Amino acid sequence: MPSKNRSSISKAFAHDIIRAWNLPGMKKQKDVFTYLGKSTDSATMTFYRQQAEEMTGVELKPHDNKYNGPTRTHREHLPPLTNRINISDTVPYTMLVFSDAHFEGHETASYQVMLKVLQDLVKTRQLKCVIANGDIMDLSILSTFAKYTLEITPRERTVQQEILDSQAQINKIQKVINSAKYPIKQVATFGNHETRLSKFVSNWGRQFEDFEGFKMQNIFPDWDWAMSHLIDDTVMIKHRMRGGVHTAYQNAMRAGLNIITGHTHQLNSRTFNTYSTTTMAVQTGHLSEDYHPYLEDNVANDWNNGFAVITIDPVEKTIHPELVQVNNLFRTAYFRGKKYKV
């Protein structure tokens, strides 16, 4: 039976466990605690091990025995569609993340600013990844929301027009990336607007489900597509998680690790602290117009044009966001002390 009185271990004992864990002859968890003179039942030893990990931030990989399952700090509940990406194990690097472009065939101020910032980041050679975090396309013609009259909105574009417009603007991003003299990963997530196409095919044209032309991977073939990406076991990238005005706080509190999302068109970041961890959530604004027909002439009070530049430290497992907010009225933005005007 497990010990009933499991008191918290001291920090000194936690460091003793860390030091002893990989000593020669330590073939199982019980060997470690026997060596330290603290041998007890398996459940209590596991409890002590978990506390040592949380107090020191060091992950203790299980020895080869059936009693040592994943530890509390190592246990994962990743969704099956998450794509793992490794960029660097030791060297900090930079990513540029944009979302909610809803490309409509013309270049917004925030899109143009992003291209200029991207050009400057390429020159630093620290940029290792560009992420399109959902809703590249709008596909309003496939929306289930009620359509407006021709008196209120112009005629909606066809799917083919949207694809061509989006490809043209993604290709300009691609051109800047290709100008780099070193490799830069290109990552994309499925937003709720992209999935309109697959949902439409599934509901109304199942005969075309296997037709390659309907997939985002075929429309934008140079990008690595997934519902979510876990980068260097440090940050989760996905289009959306929670919603509402407190999205960033809810994401930081509930994700259990650093997370970057779009969807809300908000540009902000929040942290959530516990005694053993700090997680950060970042929202990356939007590159689209401030007005969409479904707003019915209302002001989107919490929308922000812009994007995020994220520095990742893969050793510390931390992220450091720089939010670039674009002023649509003056068509300007500031990044690292430099003024961008388009």
User: Residue type at 268?
Assistant: N
β 224-226/318-325 pair status: unpaired
Alpha helix (H) residue ranges in 191-332? 195-204, 216-219, 247-255
User: Are 92 and 32 contained in the same domain?
Assistant: no
Q: Which of 18, 43, 75 is the endpoint of a domain? A: 75
- In Å, how far from its chain's centre is CA 207? 34
The reply to whether 255 falls in a domain is yes
User: Are 68 and 174 contained in the same domain?
Assistant: no
Q: What are the structure tokens assigned to 69, written together?
A: 């399952």
User: Are 267 and 310 contained in the same domain?
Assistant: yes
| Cβ 63 vs Cβ 98: under 8 Å | no
| Cβ 112 vs Cβ 78: under 8 Å | no
The pLDDT of residue 78 is 63
User: Are 54 and 108 contained in the same domain?
Assistant: no
User: Are 56 and 144 contained in the same domain?
Assistant: no
User: Are 277 and 192 contained in the same domain?
Assistant: yes
The reply to whether 68 falls in a domain is yes
User: Are 143 and 16 contained in the same domain?
Assistant: no
The reply to whether 1 falls in a domain is no
The reply to whether 2 falls in a domain is no
The reported pTM is 0.72
- Residue 132, judged by CB atoms within 10 A of its CB (0-12, 13-18, 19+), counts as buried
The reply to whether 3 falls in a domain is no
Q: Which of 51, 75, 99 is the endpoint of a domain? A: 75
| Cβ 149 vs Cβ 113: under 8 Å | no
The pLDDT of residue 47 is 87
User: Are 17 and 146 contained in the same domain?
Assistant: no
The pLDDT of residue 262 is 93
User: Listing from the earlier edge strand, what are the strands of the sheet with 318-325?
Assistant: 224-226, 185-189, 127-132, 93-98, 306-313, 318-325
Q: Residue 311's domain is classified under what CATH number?
A: 3.60.21.10
Q: Which of 34, 57, 75 is the endpoint of a domain? A: 75
Domain that holds residue 330: 82-341
The reply to whether 164 falls in a domain is yes
User: Residue type at 332?
Assistant: T
- What string of pLDDT tens digits covers the 342 residues of the chain? 444 456 788 888 888 888 888 777 777 888 888 888 887 888 888 888 888 888 888 888 776 543 333 333 444 556 667 899 999 988 999 999 999 988 887 799 999 999 999 999 999 999 999 999 988 886 666 665 544 544 445 556 777 788 888 889 999 999 999 999 899 999 999 887 676 676 666 666 666 666 666 778 888 899 999 989 999 999 999 998 887 778 888 888 888 899 999 999 999 999 999 888 899 999 999 998 766 555 555 566 678 999 999 999 998 899 999 999 999 889 999 999 999 999
The pLDDT of residue 3 is 45
The reply to whether 140 falls in a domain is yes
User: Are 41 and 86 contained in the same domain?
Assistant: no
User: Are 112 and 168 contained in the same domain?
Assistant: yes
User: Are 61 and 150 contained in the same domain?
Assistant: no
The pLDDT of residue 54 is 87
What is the tally of structural domains in the chain? 2
User: Are 66 and 210 contained in the same domain?
Assistant: no
CA 260 vs CA 24, 25, 279, 331: distances in Å: 41, 43, 11, 25
The pLDDT of residue 310 is 97
